[in-house]
Structure 1
């Protein structure tokens, strides 16, 4: 047997239960992983509340983990028992001491990356990778806006954006988070999004920006659009304040022939080769020291309810790891 945090109904953090479940045997093309660390991400909240639908109930939450391969199923040739691995993709099920998962979703960890760092960085780090390197290819001299700049994805994007030669305008909710964002590469910081377009106009001398990365959603959507230069790209990749409602597509034209996208890590890493390239790009910048992963909070896995409460109350900074 193993243990997992499961939900039997959607709702607040209190719906999560620490339960004993059968130890899964890996099927064809699968590997079983004993978790050494599990990542906490806002997408876990979306599944818990029902904003994102889980395929079955009860459901084990969690998208990201790192650990050791304890068994492999038929047809798996690129992994062996004892390999150190990590992952950051569906299906959900990471909030467990041990689980089976499709082997092509796993990547081997370099010797220089420990389990806690891996669990803290795979989903957030590969999200930053596709946002900065594929959704909009950040170039030296670009000025970019990053919402939630003191969060897990935000701190990585501030560092990586600076490394790529961009000037990062970070958006945060408190002065303390502003200092954290500055310390990790943000050249400018705006507290709150209500005056964001005015601040971006001031910072850029009226030029505005070619791209805004917005993980807040409903509350910040219009402010983000109004911060873009003509032909700018609005990247809406999260819903921390709730999902963006229906919009008038003609508005994009009126505001400067803007582009709008709602990308996901699942799409960008659907092919194993893309997953490997994304992970390697992340490993390279972390091992070079250009990006430092900040594990600022840890919770026992069985106390995932407390971790969710802290995350939703914006009491966390950087990355949070759950320890089985």
Structure 2
């Protein structure tokens, strides 16, 4: 292990001692020690929140050993490196890649130890707050590239478009010359989604999505559906799909069961594909492609996260409650080290 100076090996970490809502979260002092072989210790500046964490917090992924940590992504500065780590050094600005078990590698803390092969060095002109807000959302929206092979002129229906992933999908669609069609439940977010780059915004409480999409596409339908809802929603979207179109389902807002009408799927040769972005970060080759795709686009500003609101680490309960309220447009970020976040 190498380090520029001796630092304390404790952290202020967010933990929970039982399943529940945001109210069970506590900020507690813990010992984390020194990084082992192929690990690094990171002074965490900021943490991006994700809905998958609330499912985990409520016990949706099965039993955990209490007290359990939480958090799926973070950005900060390297404090120390373990043996065998050659691509990172003390003082590097970095972001951690999502996909590891939160019980063992929860990122919601002011200091963490993390496997070095899941840590990406950042150019100094990418802010740590924006870095913490980027990789999970763009990694999920990267399914448009990895799975759908998005092309110029493609119409892309993006459900729950005011979410951080939805906004990331709008940006990626625009970056590829595609035409993003956003859906939102009420008109409250319509104007903002248009300002964020949606070519069309459909308000599902008052408009029929399939009818609107067919009208926008001259009756051809959208080649790609990027769906955060699932449940019965996909059946309602099926008439909006172009022949040989693909529906990528990455969320469970509509429930854990999904129904699709088989006859239209067969007649139009449609595809429905489940998508979890963890599959990319779990494989070294795909992980490298993701970094190669995202890092230059984040550095250039072609992709830039929309930050809905920031919270202090001590206000983490309020941060998760705000996420559950569905008021936000974009990403919620917890600032764990204001002195580093800038």
TM-score (norm 1): 0.92
Relative to structure 2, which stretch is displaced further, 304-313 or 93-102? 304-313
Paired with 1:300 and 1:242, the residues of 2 have a C-alpha distance of 32
After TM superposition, give the deviation of residue 146 of structure 1 in Å. 0.7
Correspondence 1:297-312 to 2 at 5 A: 297-312=309-324
Check 1:253–1:151 CA distance in 2 against 1; reply closer, same or farther (3 A cut).
Answer: closer
Of structures 1 and 2, the larger Rg is shown by 2
> Deviation per CA, 1:242-273, whole angstroms, max 9, x where unpaired?
32x15478457456332111121211122334
Whether the 8 Å CA contact 1:181–1:189 is kept in 2: the answer is: yes
Paired residue for 2:20, among 11, 35, 51?
Answer: 11
Gaps of 5+ in 1: none
Correspondence 1:63-212 to 2 at 5 A: 63-89=72-98, 90-92=100-102, 93-129=106-142, 131-192=143-204, 195-212=208-225
Paired with 2:281 and 2:30, the residues of 1 have a C-alpha distance of 29
Whether the 8 Å CA contact 1:34–1:68 is kept in 2: the answer is: yes
Name 2:328's counterpart in structure 1: 316
Paired with 2:113 and 2:231, the residues of 1 have a C-alpha distance of 36
Paired with 2:254 and 2:16, the residues of 1 have a C-alpha distance of 22
> Deviation per CA, 1:174-200, whole angstroms, max 9, x where unpaired?
323211211122111011277211211
Name 2:250's counterpart in structure 1: 237
Name 1:257's counterpart in structure 2: 269
Name 1:27's counterpart in structure 2: 36
| Residue correspondences, number | 322
Whether the 8 Å CA contact 2:232–2:254 is kept in 1: the answer is: yes
Paired residue for 2:294, among 282, 300, 315?
Answer: 282
Paired with 1:323 and 1:233, the residues of 2 have a C-alpha distance of 38
Check 1:248–1:152 CA distance in 2 against 1; reply closer, same or farther (3 A cut).
Answer: closer
Check 1:70–1:315 CA distance in 2 against 1; reply closer, same or farther (3 A cut).
Answer: same
What RMSD in Å do the two structures reach over aligned CA positions? Answer: 2.0
> Deviation per CA, 1:181-240, whole angstroms, max 9, x where unpaired?
111221110112772112112211221111100112325232233322232211110123
After TM superposition, give the deviation of residue 276 of structure 1 in Å. 3.1
Paired with 1:198 and 1:82, the residues of 2 have a C-alpha distance of 54
Gaps of 5+ in 2: 1-9, 337-342
After TM superposition, give the deviation of residue 106 of structure 1 in Å. 0.4
Whether the 8 Å CA contact 1:214–1:224 is kept in 2: the answer is: no
Check 1:53–1:78 CA distance in 2 against 1; reply closer, same or farther (3 A cut).
Answer: farther
Whether the 8 Å CA contact 2:234–2:259 is kept in 1: the answer is: no
Correspondence 1:30-69 to 2 at 5 A: 30-53=39-62, 55-69=64-78
Paired with 1:254 and 1:272, the residues of 2 have a C-alpha distance of 35
Relative to structure 2, which stretch is displaced further, 193-202 or 133-142? 193-202
Correspondence 1:268-279 to 2 at 5 A: 268-279=280-291
Whether the 8 Å CA contact 2:232–2:258 is kept in 1: the answer is: no
Q: Secondary structure at the match of 1:269?
A: helix
Q: Secondary structure at the match of 1:85?
A: strand
Q: Secondary structure at the match of 2:56?
A: helix
TM-score (norm 2): 0.88
Paired with 2:165 and 2:258, the residues of 1 have a C-alpha distance of 26
Relative to structure 2, which stretch is displaced further, 97-106 or 147-156? 147-156
After TM superposition, give the deviation of residue 128 of structure 1 in Å. 1.8
Paired with 1:177 and 1:155, the residues of 2 have a C-alpha distance of 12
